Amino acid sequence: MNTPSNLKYAKSDEWFDPATGKVGISDYAQNQLSDIVFIEIFVEAGETVEAGKAIASVESVKASSEIYSPASGKVAAVNKDLANKPETINTDPFGDAWMIQLEGASAGDVMDAAAYEKHCEERAH
């Protein structure tokens, strides 16, 4: 499991990069969901989102999940390419598979990489 230490993580498995404002889902989450075949991002550039609010929905071959924003702020950009290549979420969850980018963002209830890894391990049992 890959858990970059420069990112913050929500309990619901989204990551937030305080440096760039980007948001995505963790390596752990993509692995649990298995092959992702569809993503729909609900929010548009210019909208304000609040931490904990649903911003997207992803579907894998076995489940459909809502993605919640790990931070509050104004949406500066939406990764529109992702809809055409949802499998990127499986191959590059922390890179090309960012979903939205926030500006002036403040993180919600998030933890650091070590705490998130522990959180994931506990759930595995």
Partner 1 sequence: MTYIPISPHERDEMLATVGVKSLDDLFTAIPAKHRFPKLNLPPAWTEMDALEELTNIANANENVHGDLISFLGAGMYHHYIPSVVDHMLRRGEFYTAYTPYQPEISQGTLQAVFEYQSLMAALTGMEVSNASHYDGATATAEAVNLAFAQYRGKRRKVVISPTVHPQYRAVIRTYTQGMDIQLVGDAADAELDSDPSDLLAHVDDNTCLVIVQYPDFFGRVYDYTKFIDDVHAKGALVCVVANPTALAMFKTPASMGADIVVGDGQPLGIPMWFGGPSVGFFTTRKQYVHKMAGRLVGETVDSKGQRSYVLTLTAREQHIKRERATSNICTNQGLIALGTAVYLSLLGKSGLRQVAELCYQKAHYAAKALSKINGYSLAHNEPFFHEFTLVCPKPVAEINAHLLEHGILGGYDLGQDYPSLANHMLVAVTEMNSKEEIDTLVEVLSEVDHG
The residues of the shown chain that bind partner 1, judged by CB under 8 A, are 38, 40, 42, 59, 62-64, 66
C-beta closer to partner 1: residue 2 or 64: 64
- For residue 19, CA distances in Å to 5, 106, 107 come to 12, 11, 11
Q: Which two tokens stand for residue 51?
A: 């931490």
Q: How far apart are CA 96 and CA 24, in angstroms?
A: 9
Which region, left, alpha or beta, applies to residue 52 given φ > 0 means left and ψ of -120 to 50 means alpha? left
Our CB check for partner 1 shows the closer of 1 and 45 to be: 45
Pairing of strands 110-111, 100-107: unpaired
Q: Which is nearer to partner 1, 85 or 113 (CB)?
A: 85
- CB-wise, 62 or 125, nearer to partner 1? 62
1 and 114 in contact (C-beta within 8 Å)? no
Q: Which two tokens stand for residue 39?
A: 């993503």
